[in-house]
């Protein structure tokens, strides 16, 4: 399907995609959207790929601080503490 | 103790307990560092942000009123430190912004289809990570910061709004555009890196 023949509803899905993924939609809007996504391959794809991107970022994220940086941070805090108690 | 609950540690640290403060640093340094790294793009700058953030936490802890979560408070400090530096560096990205987002809703469906289906199994982890970082770095900072806090660090819309002092609808709109941009960008990247297919011109379109 080319871009020109994208339906109004597809545009709506594109606009509300984030709120849909974040489960912020309710009632008739949600129902309507869900129905359309189920029968429209383009929208299915649109939703899936964005979901995938979010998951990729979440999974690839490291949360450890390099050790040398941790050591220097401790140092900085220790010096600040000394300055404060030295006064 | 519930590790997500810093309340006790905060109270102990406020009372001058050095070990409690050290534990708070231990708990949050990794997230603050990577948050700063994603915003700043360089390890050196990120370390500066990290250090200044915890210095501020140290100096202002008695002023933290515990109306919000401790982690939200730290994020606000770290984000402000990072944004202040970025503004000083005055990177002009407005042109890019309009350019990149002008294509909203005109996705190359083929590319996205390939991307959504691929398991990315044959792409090395380091390669994926580099592509993710590169795509994120292209976003203007006011978008990057929202995507980072919301989708990577897991803050809520309300918390991000509080940290950045913008409205919740503004958070949602920036998040949405960031996600679409990153998806389009990564679809292109991974299609281009998926080997021989890309080079063959025997494909007919439409
Ligand atoms: Zn559709």
Among B127, B119, B126, B101, CA closest to B184 = B101
> Could you give the 3-state DSSP secondary structure of residue B66?
coil
Among A22, A46, A42, A43, CA closest to A32 = A43
Which residues in chain B come in under a pLDDT of 70?
1-4, 90-109, 119-123, 192-206
Q: Is the entire prediction scored with pTM above 0.90? A: no
Cβ–Cβ gap A77/B182 under 8 Å: no
Distance B84 CA to ligand 1 centre (A): 42
**CB-proximal residues (5 Å) to ion ligand 1:** A 10, 40, 42-43
Q: What is the pLDDT of residue B200?
A: 34
Chain B within 8 Å of A73 (Cβ-Cβ)? Answer: yes
| Distance in angstroms (rounded) separating the CA atoms of residues B96 and B144 | 13
| Distance in angstroms (rounded) separating the CA atoms of residues B105 and A3 | 9
Residues in chain B: 206
ipTM of the complex: 0.81
Q: Cβ–Cβ contacts within 10 Å for residue B157, how many?
A: 19
* DSSP, residue by residue, A71-82: HHHHHHHHHHHH
Tell which B residues from 78 to 107 touch A, by Cβ distance under 8 Å.
104-107
Residue located via tokens 């350019």: B99
- pLDDT tens per residue, range B32-85: 999 898 888 889 999 999 999 999 999 999 999 878 889 889 988 998 998 888
| Distance in angstroms (rounded) separating the CA atoms of residues B110 and A86 | 66
CA–CA min distance A81, chain B (Å): 8
- pLDDT tens per residue, range A22-70: 999 999 999 999 999 999 999 999 999 999 999 999 887 777 889 999 9
Tell which A residues from 5 to 24 touch B, by Cβ distance under 8 Å.
6, 11, 14-15, 17-19, 22
Q: Which residue has the higher pLDDT, A80 or A58?
A: A80
Q: What is the pLDDT of residue A68?
A: 96
Q: What is the pLDDT of residue B121?
A: 66
Tokens, residue B55: 């210095």
**Hey, what domains does chain B have and what are their CATH numbers?**
3-88 (1.10.1740.10), 98-197 (1.10.10.10)
Q: Which residue has the higher pLDDT, A4 or A83?
A: A83
């Amino acid at each position: 399907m080319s871009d020109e023949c994208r339906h109004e509803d597809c545009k709506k899905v594109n606009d509300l995609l984030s709120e849909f993924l974040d489960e912020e939609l309710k009632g008739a809007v949600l129902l309507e959207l869900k129905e359309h996504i189920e029968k429209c391959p383009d929208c299915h794809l649109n939703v899936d790929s964005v979901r995938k991107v979010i998951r990729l970022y979440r999974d690839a994220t490291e949360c450890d601080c390099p050790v040398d940086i941790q050591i220097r941070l401790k140092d900085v805090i220790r010096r600040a503490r000394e300055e404060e108690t030295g006064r | 103790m519930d590790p997500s609950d810093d309340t006790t540690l905060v109270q102990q640290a406020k009372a001058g307990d050095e070990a409690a403060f050290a534990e708070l640093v231990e708990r949050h340094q990794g997230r603050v560092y990577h948050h700063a790294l994603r915003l700043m793009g360089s390890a050196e700058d990120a370390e500066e942000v990290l250090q200044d953030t915890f210095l501020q936490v140290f100096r202002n802890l008695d002023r933290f009123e515990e109306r919000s979560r401790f982690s939200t408070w730290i994020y606000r400090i770290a984000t402000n430190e990072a944004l202040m530096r970025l503004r000083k560096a005055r990177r002009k990205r407005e042109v890019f912004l309009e350019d990149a987002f002008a294509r909203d809703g005109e996705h190359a469906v083929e590319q996205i289809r390939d991307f959504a289906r691929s398991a990315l199994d044959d792409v090395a982890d380091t390669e994926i990570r580099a592509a993710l970082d590169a795509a994120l770095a292209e976003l203007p900072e006011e978008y990057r910061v929202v995507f980072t806090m919301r989708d990577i660090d897991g803050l809520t819309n309300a918390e991000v709004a509080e940290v950045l002092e913008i409205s919740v609808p503004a958070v949602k709109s920036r998040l949405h555009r960031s996600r679409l941009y990153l998806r389009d960008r990564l679809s292109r990247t991974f299609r281009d890196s998926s080997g021989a297919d890309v080079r063959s011109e025997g494909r007919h379109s439409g």
